[in-house]
Amino acid sequence: MALAHAEVGNKAHAPKKRAKRIAYFLLAPGLTWLLIFFAFPLINLAETSTKTPAPTFETGEFVQTFRFSNFVDAFVNNQEQFFRSFLYALIATLFALAIAYPLAYAIAFRSGPWKNLMLILVVAPFFTSFLLRTLAWKQILGAEGPVVSALQFLGILPPEATITATAFSVILGLTYNFLPFMTLPIYASLDRIDYRLLEASGDLYANGVTTFRKVTLPLSAPGVVAGTLLTFIPASGDYINAQLLGSPENYMIGNVINSRFFRVVDYPTAAALSFILMATILVLVVIYIRRLGTDELV
């Protein structure tokens, strides 16, 4: 009898073991991809960050000396660019939120038959290169562009003033380029809201502002949190907008890393800066999610 029960138990567990093997088999390609293109480069970057120039230094020759003070030196020498990067990214994220939330709300609740078209227009910038979009903004904001001409005609800007090569143009470029990353998550959260909840709020004598504050905004919080993260994280490490729309006084930490890697050929400092940037963003994201996140994200 005991032997029969054991055989039945083994037969019952066989499908579960087979399902686990299938799950691991399906995960294998993704895990292999992450191992080759994420884990190995990260390990190599960590190993490079503690190197020093070889005694008979030639371009690109470094030896492993486990000099962890590279991290301190890299941060101290570039702390201005670090703070500027996070400041620009924060302002651009707030601007993007201010633009994206009304846009996402209009698409979700007021677009009617135009919803699909409006969604296509939101993602349409992705059909062109990030670099080309930024170059287009350089032309738009240039001295002979329509924005400067209109502001000078209205007397807002003096005749010789320009917008490019300023912090404003860099933040404007960041806001534009990452606006879809803010809009789409917020739209997804708003679109999932049962419209009957909003109608019930009105039936309970809540006005539009109260309904938005008590019902719509809390229910769309996961989209707001996801959108701010998807905007702030890439904006913090961006360097294209500062390179094309700003000046050396507006350079962000991404510009420094790019220069250290490809111009100065100071790989240890560039690697150390990259790790500091990753660690700082990770800490900020964890704090943000813990304090302002939602149950769907934590």
pLDDT at 298: 44
Sign of CA dihedral 35, 37, 40, 46: negative
- Global pTM reads 0.86
**Closest listed residue to residue 82, CA positions, set 265, 273, 267:** 273
Q: Is the pLDDT of residue 101 over 50?
A: yes
Q: Helices 130-140 and 167-191, interaxial angle, to 10°? A: 120
Q: List phi, psi (to 5°) of 51.
A: -90, 165
pLDDT(9) > 60? no
Distance in angstroms (rounded) separating the CA atoms of residues 265 and 44: 16
Task: At 191, list the tokens.
Answer: 């679109």
Collapse the DSSP code of 252 into the 3-class scheme (helix H, G, I; strand E, B; otherwise coil) and give the result: coil
CB 173 within 8 A of CB 134: yes
pLDDT at 207: 87
In angstroms, rounded to a whole number, what is the distance separating the alpha carbons of residues 77 and 150? 41
Query: How sure is the predictor about 11, in pLDDT bands with cuts at 50, 70 and 90?
Result: low
Say whether pLDDT at 68 is over 90. Answer: yes
Answer yes or no: are the C-beta atoms of 197 and 219 closer than 8 Å: yes
pLDDT at 162: 82
Can you give the pLDDT at residue 61?
A: 83
Per-residue confidence at 12, pLDDT binned at 50, 70, 90?
low
pLDDT digits (tens, 9 = 90+) for 173-210: 999 999 999 999 999 999 998 888 888 888 788 888 89
Residue in the structure block whose two tokens are 């903004």: 137
Inter-residue contact 241 to 170 (CB < 8 Å): yes
Q: Residue with structure tokens 């924005």?
A: 147
| Spatial CB neighbours of 251, under 8 Å, sequence gap ≥ 6 | 81, 84, 239, 242, 243
| Structure tokens, 182 | 């803010």
SS3 at position 190: helix
Q: What amino acid occupies position 64?
A: Q
DSSP-derived secondary structure letter, 284: H
Per-residue model confidence (pLDDT) at position 90? 96
In this predicted model, what pLDDT tens digit does every residue of 159-172 receive, in sequence order? Answer: 877 888 899 999 99
